[in-house]
A and B are shown apart, each in its own frame.
Chain A
């Protein structure tokens, strides 16, 4: 039971990831395909955030006694504790979140949050780029179905080859 409770998050995220992958593979419609790609992308975000969760932790914004009084000097014990903990952190595998490290409260790991925050904004920028390519494909081919675009490409290539043969024969 514990094994399931500790891992159902991963399984659900893999499920979502597979839905995204399925849409990307199965759909010939380019916009739907991009939707699948963004579901896939979101599942990676969920995975990172899951990894950064610490049981009993709160959002990584210092509060309460961990906060230095504004404008004044830090309480010396906190700074001393922080320095000592930092020196030890390199040696002790599995640094402990919370009281031991000179912090009074427990927080979740802030690093995945930073990575994913910027990844989301970059994700919308690349999504926009993909969509604008689709818009240009639609203007050039009159369709956004991948198989129809491929068929048009094939027809064009055959016609060009025939043209070339004709001009060569004429020459």
Chain B
């Protein structure tokens, strides 16, 4: 602990954990759902900063894009469709949960006496396979970002499963809430004009002008940034998951500023869900291609196999197959995540009444 960098990290660590604690306690006490949702966003952002101090830059990136961005938007959408305040609880009803939490907490804290020290390189979690990945990545896969290497090559099968889960969640949400056309078509069927559509352009209050102009500039930049994050995923923090979320954030921003109808025109629902399905098929397709070449499922050496023998040993001299495979499956992840999150957003936004100016 005498190392100045270590002390700095420890100080950041304590401050951020304390802030997380305060935000968490505030969430527990508050009853306004709007405040709770916004504080959850702040909580995610704080934990993203905390991840950076503990070297998990890829995780921090994902948490910032997903936790602070997308989940906040989804929770706001759900809140608009349900209610804005939680019912007041009875005071005595807190005793039971509090007792359970105190007992569980003290048992867990008692268990930490057996835990390895913070930052111990010899702890069981840090031994064996994690260290192996660090050492072998340079020869096996030859990309600097080891997290990407593990994610997309060593443990590509896990990631395929997770991409499938995201896709299935998108389908499930769409089945529960509709693909997003529902509220628009329902309004039309009832002969109602949607409340916001009745206003002419000139009626729209002026304070949205800044938003509209800024987001018109911002949205293409967000798109380019997403592609940058995607294609630099092998060299630095980032990758398909983060880029997919960022792309759907661009769609969300467009829809919030210009209205859901305009967003549905620009990125049709069928395109979003088709993109999600195509992503999963592309990912799984790479795996099946490797099978047809006589390799293991998702063994990218199948794609360009100069240095590998049929027994499945990695080619030491040639890693181009790995590079191409990682690019393909990361594209699959990008498509699947962007499509699924956009579909999920449309499902909520399609039901929500558009926020009128007086409600802002």
Contacts and interface: CB of A to CB of B under 8 A. Distances in A.
B122 interface: yes
Interface string A114-127: 10111111111111
A78 B131 contact: no
Nearest to A92: B127
State the 7 A-B residue pairs at the shortest beta-carbon distance, nearest first. Answer: A125-B169, A55-B119, A29-B86, A6-B117, A25-B97, A95-B131, A94-B122
Contact of A60 (B44, B87, B134, B155): B134
A28 B130 CA distance: 42
Nearest to B64: A120
Contacts of B112: 7, 10-11, 14
B322 interface: no
A109 B135 contact: no
Contacts of A145: 86-87
A125 B40 contact: no
Given A11-B109, A145-B87, A94 B169 contact: no
A55 B59 CA distance: 18
A68 B348 contact: no
A1 to B, nearest CB: 9
Most chain A C-beta atoms within 10 Å of own C-beta, residue among B56, B57, B96, B316: B56
Contacts of A31: 33, 36-37, 75, 78-79, 82-83, 86
Contact of B132 (A5, A34, A66, A89): A89
B75 A57 contact: no
A36 B112 CA distance: 23
B158 A118 contact: yes
Interface string B115-156: 111111111011111111111111100101111001100010
B66 A120 contact: yes
A38 B118 contact: no
B214 to A, nearest CB: 26
Given A14-B112, A32-B36, A23 B130 contact: no
Interface string A16-46: 1111111101111111101110110010011
Contact of A52 (B108, B125, B128, B132): B125
Nearest to A28: B87
The contact size tier of chain B is 35 or more
Interface in A127-151: 127-129, 131-136, 138, 143-145, 148
Interface in B52-70: 54-59, 62-63, 66-67, 70
Interface in A73-112: 74, 78-79, 82-83, 85-86, 89, 93-98, 101-103, 106-112
Interface string B1-34: 1010110001001100110110011011000010
A50 B16 CA distance: 13
B109 to A, nearest CB: 6
A59 B40 contact: no
B89 A26 contact: yes
Interface string B326-348: 00000000000100110010011
Given A49-B54, A79-B316, A135-B82, 12 more contacts: A8-B118, A14-B105, A25-B101, A51-B116, A52-B126, A60-B146, A95-B127, A98-B121, A103-B134, A111-B130, A118-B151, A125-B340
Contacts of B40: 35, 38-39
Given A85-B135, A125-B169, A117 B47 contact: no
A110 B74 contact: no
A12 interface: yes
Contacts of A133: 176
Given A29-B86, A117-B241, A120-B59, A93 B127 contact: yes
A133 B94 CA distance: 26
Given A62-B137, A122-B162, A7 B115 contact: yes
B254 interface: no
B280 to A, nearest CB: 13
Nearest to A58: B55
A61 B237 contact: yes
B151 A114 contact: yes
Given A46-B47, A56-B6, A128 B117 contact: no
Contacts of A66: 138
A9 interface: yes
B123 A51 contact: yes
A62 B50 contact: no
Contacts of B58: 113, 117
B120 to A, nearest CB: 7
